[in-house]
């Protein structure tokens, strides 16, 4: 039974098919079991405007990389102002499925948008709010792509293995540059094993 909360703002990152959402759910249900109140949110979305943006982003329509960047940033601005900051001010534990690092990895490393632009937009969207812990569910894109149903791929999930390799390398670079905040988890392991590693890092 945890006695002390070491962190308030916890972020999960990883490429599509890394099992990130499964880990978010496992963590949330363990928190519930332990009567630890928390707020669980997901990017993009989880606000009225954010959900509309999420739909636009997943549709199979032609979109420039910069349009994509602005849409993710707009959805983030809504979520941070309306949900994340109020919850943290209330001293509630916040778990967020994707944050600014998704934009650095996908739009920066994946789409090759200038990282300076991205850092600037991320700062604008979040007032430079940083998480206490980031869990990176790291997996080889060949393995993650085999986990996703190929008939249900959305616009971004349809990207090539090369794209996902760049995204993965981007995540690893950020994680390696920030060892105090980031924990790289081998996402090819069994979900329960990963969950235990995550729980032990938080409590």
Interface ranges with ligand TYD (CB under 6 A): 16, 21, 42-44, 72, 98, 102-103, 106-107, 156-157
Q: Which is nearer to ligand TYD, 58 or 178 (CB)?
A: 58
Q: What does the alpha-carbon distance between residue 16 and residue 176 come to, in Å, rounded to a whole number?
A: 20
Residue nearest to ligand TYD (CB): 106
Q: Which is nearer to ligand TYD, 72 or 182 (CB)?
A: 72
Q: Tell how strand 133-138 and strand 182-186 pair up.
A: parallel
In the bound complex, what is the minimum distance in angstroms from residue 150's beta carbon to ligand TYD? Answer: 13
SS3 for 189?
coil
Q: Which is nearer to ligand TYD, 111 or 195 (CB)?
A: 111
Q: Which is nearer to ligand TYD, 93 or 118 (CB)?
A: 118
Q: What does the alpha-carbon distance between residue 182 and residue 185 come to, in Å, rounded to a whole number?
A: 10
Q: Tell how strand 38-42 and strand 133-138 pair up.
A: unpaired
CA distances from 153 to 16, 50, 55, 159 (A): 10, 21, 14, 9
Q: Which is nearer to ligand TYD, 16 or 78 (CB)?
A: 16
In the bound complex, what is the minimum distance in angstroms from residue 3's beta carbon to ligand TYD? Answer: 32
Q: Tell which residue, 38, 32, 35, 33, has the closest CA to residue 8.
A: 38
In the bound complex, what is the minimum distance in angstroms from residue 176's beta carbon to ligand TYD? Answer: 20
Any alpha helices (H) in 43-190, and if so which ranges?
48-58, 65-79, 85-89, 100-102, 115-126, 141-147, 161-177
Q: What does the alpha-carbon distance between residue 146 and residue 126 come to, in Å, rounded to a whole number?
A: 34
In the bound complex, what is the minimum distance in angstroms from residue 43's beta carbon to ligand TYD? Answer: 4
In the bound complex, what is the minimum distance in angstroms from residue 38's beta carbon to ligand TYD? Answer: 19
């Amino acid at each position: 039974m945890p006695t002390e909360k070491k962190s308030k703002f916890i972020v999960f990152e990883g490429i599509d098919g890394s099992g990130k959402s499964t880990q978010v759910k496992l963590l949330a249900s363990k928190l519930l079991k332990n009567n630890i109140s928390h707020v669980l949110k997901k990017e993009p979305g989880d606000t009225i405007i954010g959900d509309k943006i999420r739909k636009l982003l997943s549709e199979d329509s032609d979109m420039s990389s910069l349009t994509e960047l602005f849409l993710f940033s707009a959805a983030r601005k809504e979520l941070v102002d309306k949900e994340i900051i109020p919850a943290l001010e209330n001293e509630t534990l916040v778990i967020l499925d994707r944050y600014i690092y998704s934009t650095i990895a996908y739009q920066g490393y994946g789409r090759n948008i200038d990282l300076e632009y991205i850092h600037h937009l991320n700062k604008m969207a979040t007032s430079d709010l940083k998480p206490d812990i980031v869990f990176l569910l790291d997996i080889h894109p060949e393995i993650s792509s085999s986990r996703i149903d190929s008939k249900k791929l959305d616009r971004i999930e349809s990207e090539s293995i090369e794209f996902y390799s760049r995204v993965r390398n981007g995540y690893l670079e950020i994680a390696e540059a920030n060892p105090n905040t980031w924990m790289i988890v081998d996402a090819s392991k069994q979900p329960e094993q990963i969950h235990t590693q995550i729980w032990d890092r938080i409590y």
